[in-house]
Amino acid sequence: MKITKVTSHILQYDLPEELGYSQQYYARRTAHLVEVETDEGVTGWGECFGPGNVAIANRGIVEQVIQPMILGDDPMDRDVIWHKVYNLLRDHGQKGMPMQSLSGVDIALWDIAGKVAGLPLHKLIGGAHRNAVPAYGYGMMLKRESVEDHVARFRDEAAAILGMGFKATKMKVGLGPKADARLCAAVAEGVGEAGQFMVDANHCYTTSDAFYVGRALEEMGAYWFEEPVAPEDLDGYRELRAGLSVNISGGEAEFNRWGWRSILENRGLDIAQPEVCALGGISEYLRVLALCHAHFTPVINHVWGSAVAVATNLQLLAAMPALPGGLTPWEPMLEFDTTHNAFRDELLTEPLDIQGQVARNGGMVSIPQGPGIGVEPDRDFIRSYELDC
């Protein structure tokens, strides 16, 4: 079997409303799917992390840089291909967009391997430790409105997300430390005793401001404080973890095993959040997961993107060993964006129906059992949203 073509599909549409987080507002949803074709008719699908113009730029890396390196290679030699591409791109970026692009290709190769074997991804990895995972719903995005309007909306939305059946909910912050503390208090009130809540800062604080918000979160009982400071600020992460009782989480903006080694050896995270569509794909994710568990750091995957990303993460969560084990082990959760996402809800020939599963099954989501990542995109849907770039 040989690789005959690698294609990027950049999908985009205008959102019903503008959404924001601590770094920017956005009004369009983007997804970057990667399709790898073979001479035996087996096709694999993957996804690259990165919205908007980042996705368009990554398309050039996938098709113009990586594709010529791997045409004619055996897609089953995915680890050989991974290291071949990484070594040839090392001089041009061990992190960032080259790794995002390699991620999509690597996921597609694993999808091919599962289809050739007739097995779901979790079986290729070693089996399912669980047949379903709990999901948490994130929302409470920033908008161009007053702090008072944010407070009222966040309180109601937090309660509404738990009312959908999700086990926990996650909010955005980024209006400034004092305003953000008010937002967190509103969410804590909306959640009450019905579940947990988490706070995602998208690295908007200095260390001192992060301590201000983090101390407020301690009093409110937040489960974790995500990306409180810049991903480069390893000292800040270590200081926050040592000085706060709320769990410190992060890692979505880190890449490959060498970047993750630095984070873990620094002991700055209570919860690791690797992003499989960015850090180097499934091949590298498995190495990062092993590193995390070697440092006794539990993992809750960062999940953002289309149904391809969601299905891939469900497979990985199924195959994740319990840490540390026991009768009632600590369990991972599936991250689910509750905002409008047609590329997640309408992309597949057979939708995952995450929200429906959550509502019907007490917050739990089943693991796809089809071969590979277990899902198949609808080509007509792709054509209707694909950018001509």
pTM reported for the whole predicted model: 0.98
- Considering the chain, what is the average pLDDT of its residues? 97
Higher pLDDT, 275 or 330: 275
The two structure tokens encoding residue 219: 């009093």
From 257, 273, 274, select the one nearest 265 (Cα to Cα): 257
Q: H or E stretch including 250?
A: strand 247-250
What positions carry a catalytic annotation?
Answer: 302
Q: Is 51 left (phi over 0), alpha (psi -120 to 50) or beta?
A: beta
pLDDT above 70: percentage of residues in the chain: 100
Domains located in the chain, CATH noted: 3-118+380-385 (3.30.390.10), 123-366 (3.20.20.120)
Provide the residue type at 72 as one letter: G
Confidence at residue 388, expressed as pLDDT on a 0 to 100 scale: 85
361 vs 40: CA distance, rounded Å:
39
Q: How far is CA 70 from CA 2, 86, 267, 280, in A?
A: 9, 12, 37, 16
**pLDDT tens readout for residues 89-143:** 999 999 999 999 999 999 999 999 999 999 999 999 999 999 999 999 999 999 9
Residues contacting 2, CB < 8 A, separation 6+: 38, 39, 72, 73, 74, 75
